[in-house]
Structure 1
Amino acid sequence: MASTTPQGLCIHPRQMDFELPDPLPRHWHGGDAFKSHLFDAMSLQFPDGERFFIDSVRYFREHIGDPQLRKQIRSFIGQEGHHSREHQVYSKRLRDLGYDIDRLEGHVQARIRFTQKRLSPQRQLAATAALEHITAIMAEGLLRDARHLEGAHPTMVRLWRWHALEETEHKAVAFDVYNQVCGNRSLLRRAMLMGTFFFVLDTSRGLVHMLKRDGLLWNWRVWRGGLSWLWGKRGIYRPLLGPYRDFFRDDFHPWQRDSLELLQRLRGEFDGAHQAEEANGPVPS
């Protein structure tokens, strides 16, 4: 299918230094253990996961003839590299609080080693395109609905909004590369099912570990409040089910869900006036 990525899309890597609180408040999300540790558990997957995404896309960079997509690949690499570094600092803060971060990250690292050793570059890229869709719909939900981070520590709010903004900007890069070098939709759907399983598994494993260390694993109020926040009548994850299912359509493309207006409205949080008007400046390759 032809890409529906908007012409002139700005994918702009931002060099950020958030100076995360040290020590990090254990329950930085408004004193709520479930909310804090759900975000914490997701963050633990990013340092190694983002590097995997970079490697899977970079492998095919020389196969791409479209100069605009090649430019977007460079910006994708720059953004994901910055994300990985910031979330490494986040992981260190959690490690300092006494959580077994090495064990939790070890599960992710072992799976990535297996994937890179046993699966073809095309299947690795399919996994990246699938997981990028998961992060993109979650990112857009976070940017549109203030309840995701309502009451959280201001620095943590800024970190997560920055990450969400850039994930939304580059949400179609891996997908467009995949379409150019492979395009097998059946392989893409299988990658989504597998990626969803492991994303939920790793997030749940981290959440359970940190609640257990806090002595709150069997506190039913913590679980009742957390699950209601996620999946209740006004749960923040419920609106994501439709966009998630869209991925399985034969004609799906990430930019069928138009978020350009959202990006234009929110870039001012992180960009200077001159940066907001730039397309793509020099970025790491």
Structure 2
Amino acid sequence: MASPTPKGLEIRPRQPDFGLTQPMPRHWHSGNAFKTHLFDAMSVLFPDGKRFFIDSVRLFRAQIDDPLLQQQIRGFIGQEGHHSREHAQYSERLRALGYDVDYLERGLQRRLGFIRKHLPARLQLAATCSVEHLTAIMADAVLRNPRWLAGADPAGADPAGADPAVARLWRWHALEESEHKAVAFDVYQAVCADPWLRRRAMLQSTFFFTVDTLKGLIHMLKRDGLLWNWRVWRDGLNWLWGKHGIYRELVGVYLDFYRGDFHPWQHDNLQLVEQYRREFDERPELA
């Protein structure tokens, strides 16, 4: 069966200048600690996580005969390499603000070391497919739903929105995640295509991604002296899971991954990708 990946899809690494300040604003997202640290906690996972994704795809690169997929693998590796480096710099800014990024990274690094040493290569690739789906559906939502980065909500709170430079970094990341969302999956289908293995990998990946993100969020709120502030948690959980919660809208597209006939480009957002390509490629200085 032919892959639904759009024919001729170009996956090109970009290296925009985000102009992030040093120090970075402590609560760069609308002055809101919960919103800020949800993104910060995910960012801490990316330097090591992206290197793992690249390595898991490289394990099977020689087995891919399709020249288009080989070209897309090159783009995937380039984009993920830039993401790893940019978020490593992001982590340095978090360290400068007093957050213990080394503590947050250690658990992930130990787990990835164990996976590389002890688990089959196909399971490593399946894990990459799983996390790529998580990041792809969040990336689509960042680009599609203003509530991810805008300050205003139905109650009219946080009118300022996210810091423009940091928001731009997350839009860039979301654009490129959307472009390469099917590369690891297409490699997996070419070399394995076992739906049960990828379902197992998704269950495990969802658990650890949730635990690691929550760990980072708790640590940063604790450093800010806000861990036991019930309003922070009330408003934050409402932002995530309330009537208009940003995570609530992702449940259906998340569950699609468990279908036997699933493919990432069944969630066709190519028009949205083209929109943000214009923002970053045609007039990058204004993005």
Fold shared by both chains (TM-score > 0.5): yes
TM-score range, shorter chain: over 0.9
Which residue is equivalent to 1:219?
A: 229
- TM-score norm. by structure 1 comes to 0.94
Q: Does 1:166 align with 2:176?
A: yes
3-state SS in 2 of match to 1:268: helix
1:2 matched to which residue of 2? 2
TM-score by length of structure 2 reads 0.94
Matched with 2:38 is: 38
**Aligned-partner residue type, residue 199 of structure 2:** R
* Higher RCO (Cα < 8 Å, 6 or more apart): 1
Quick one: which amino acid aligns to residue 181 of structure 1? V
Partner residue in 2 for 1:252 = 262
How far off is 1:10 after superposition? 1.8
Counterpart position of 1:210: 220
Measured in 2, the distance between the counterparts of 1:56 and 1:19 equals: 32
SS at match of 2:225: coil
The residue that corresponds to 1:74 in the other structure is 74
- Mapped to 2, the partners of 1:60 and 1:242 lie a distance apart of 30
CA distance in 1, matches of 2:172, 2:165: 11
Per-residue CA distance 1:160-203 (angstroms, 9 max, x = gap) = 00000000000000000000011111000000000000000000
Deviation at 1:272, TM superposition (A): 2.7
Gaps of 5+ in 1: 274-285
Q: How far does the alpha carbon of each residue in 1:77-134 deviate from its partner, in whole angstroms, 9 at most, with x for none?
A: 0000000000001000000111111010111111110110011111100000010000
**Cα separation, 2, equivalents of 1:90 and 1:47:** 10
Q: Supply the RMSD in Å over aligned alpha carbons.
A: 1.1
Residue matched to 2:113: 113
Question: Corresponding residue for 2:157?
Answer: none
Q: Does 1:237 align with 2:247?
A: yes
Residue 158 of structure 2: aligned partner: none
Q: Distance in 2 between matches of 1:84 and 1:17?
A: 15
Aligned to 2:139: 139
Among residues 257, 270, 275, which one is paired with 1:265 in the alignment? 275
1:130 aligns with 2:140: no
Please list every run of 5 or more consecutive structure 2 residues that lacks an aligned counterpart in the other structure.
Answer: 151-160
Sequence identity, in percent? Answer: 67
CA distance in 2, matches of 1:233, 1:49: 32
| 1:209-259 deviations in Å (ceiling 9; x for gaps) | 000010000000000110000100001111110000000001100001111
The answer to whether residue 167 in structure 2 is matched with residue 157 in structure 1 is yes
